[in-house]
Amino acid sequence: MRSSAPSAAASKADIRRLSNAERSAYFARREAAKVLRCVLQGDARRRAVGSVKSLVYSPSVRNKRATFALVCQTLKHLPIIKQILEDADIVNSKWKRKEDLLFIVTYDVLFGQAKQSIGDAEKFLIHHKIKLQSALEQLLSRKKANGIDELTAIYQTGDAPKPRYVRVNTLKLDIGYAMLELDKLTKVQKDGLLPDLLILPAGTDLHDHPLVLNGSVFMQGKASCMVAAALRPEPGWAVLDACSAPGNKTVHLAALMRDEGEIIACELNEQRVNRLEDTIRLSGASNIHVVHGDFLNLTPSVHPYNKVQAILLDPSCSGSGTSAERLDHLLPSYTAGHAADGTEIARLNKLAAFQKKALTHALSFPSVERVVYSTCSVHQIENEDVVQSILPLAASLGFRLEAPFPQWSHRGLPVFEGAEKLLRTDPLEDREGFFIALFVKEHVDRHGGIAPAFSTRKTNRRVSGSTKKRFVTGTKLSRSSNHADQLKSLRVI
């Protein structure tokens, strides 16, 4: 249908006739439209000029609280608003040039407080309100949603809620038996990518299930399970988990290695060390040594670290890939890591600096053949940018990027040549936003093998309830030993 062109703003006389609340709402919608335009334009370029908060709290915006609420709510409902406008078929090319205001006012007409017909957009949409409401009802019916909250949740997380993933701890239980036991409770299927991962319906509560309580299965997301699997440690190897707590990836490594070889699990925070120990005990793994200390303080040339063949580096990060409730999560610019709020950028820069330092350190271990760098962040600054900054050093040390899970469709952002070898999980499609980079050393000489990094005595290898401390060097080591000075900042359990 053809609609009248949007004319200039409402006349001053019309505005004066409004109540104070109506006048404030009228101007807030205009200010919100300007902010939304900046956000969407930045989103289209995949580089935001500012976060929603920083744009709203600029000096030019007068009604900050109302404007912020309108922008946030419109973004939250934007896929629904776009679908309703398309289904109602009321927007011509002239109105499309002012779609930012149209989105704001549509939200306020359908879900907010817009009732007066002052302002061209308000007049236009209130005139077509019946069509808009009809389109909304049809959308609710198509999506089988019982209300706007449920419909919003569907659009934010996809057409299906996140399934319950369960990793079978193969140190304790056969995968087939785990399926039989869990099938008594609900429908179970195998994951197509990871053989030890099972998929249960969303919302399945397993917290009190015997298999969970005894460590036979771990409730662990698919993306998290992909990290250890990407490293592909071989049984008998010496492996280092650089930032280990809470330990789910650590014990997954132990299972992949069939409890053979040695794993050094490094953790700086004492409370998290306690959590890590609990996870190890629950798993039944006997080849894990917990090091209470800073990974950056480990000396790569000192035994046992000079024998480490694989390193899993999952350092502190923003956690943005697991923050499904953040509004910026809806934007490609957020996925690319370009939120420009000053405080957030400063935090991300600080995290990225640590991540670069940690990855540089990981690549310096003399016997290391494979290094996985992973985050649960969607930000480019913590992911592709960190990897790109390390590539010259990695190449000089003989490392190249290798694509983990080549069949996986979501790869790194195309910001440098070779980024297609990086792996991302999509926060919407995969319900989590993880990042994995795999560095592999070329021309590895395996002749003669590599000697075990630790003693194979169970008394020295098992994490027990005892509070007795040991330095992990294959033999008992007193503080007066030659290695004590190099390990003086570490407490090994």
Distance between alpha carbon 481 and the CA centroid of its chain, in Å?
Answer: 43
The tally of CA atoms less than 13 A away on the side-chain side of residue 215 is 15
Distance, CA of 30 to CA of 410 (rounded, Å): 38
> Is 29:106 a contact under the CB 8 Å cutoff?
no
Q: Which two tokens stand for residue 325?
A: 């409730």
Find out whether the peptide bond into 300 is cis, omega within 30 degrees of 0.
Answer: no
Beta bridge partners of 238: 262
Does the active-site annotation cover 376?
yes
Distance, CA of 356 to CA of 296 (rounded, Å): 11
246 is in an annotated binding site: yes
Token look-up 């062109």 returns: 5
Distance, CA of 186 to CA of 333 (rounded, Å): 39
- Contacts within 8 Å (CB) and 24+ apart, 175-181: 178/211, 178/216, 178/217, 181/211
Cα distances (angstroms) measured from residue 288 to each of 172, 220, 228, 334, 489? 16, 20, 15, 38, 20
Distance, CA of 229 to CA of 226 (rounded, Å): 5
User: Which of 100-132 are b and which e, b meaning 16 or more Cβ less than 10 Å from the residue's Cβ?
Assistant: bbbbbbbbbbbbbebebebbbbbbbbbebeebb
Catalytic hit among 225, 266, 317, 376: 376
418 is in an annotated binding site: no
Distance, CA of 226 to CA of 232 (rounded, Å): 10
**109 in helix, strand or coil?**
helix
Distance, CA of 493 to CA of 244 (rounded, Å): 14
267 is in an annotated binding site: yes
244 is in an annotated binding site: yes
Q: At residue 307, what are phi and psi to the nearest 5 degrees?
A: -105, 0
Beta bridge partners of 240: 264, 311
The tally of CA atoms less than 13 A away on the side-chain side of residue 156 is 18
DSSP code per residue over 335-347:
HTT----HHHHHH
DSSP code per residue over 402-470:
E-SSTT-S-B--SSSTTGGGSEE--TTTTSS--EEEEEEESS---TT----SS---HHHH---S-----
321 is in an annotated binding site: no
Q: Which residues are annotated as a binding site?
A: 243-249, 267, 294, 314
Binding residues for S-adenosyl-L-methionine are 243-249, 267, 294, 314
User: Active-site positions?
Assistant: 376
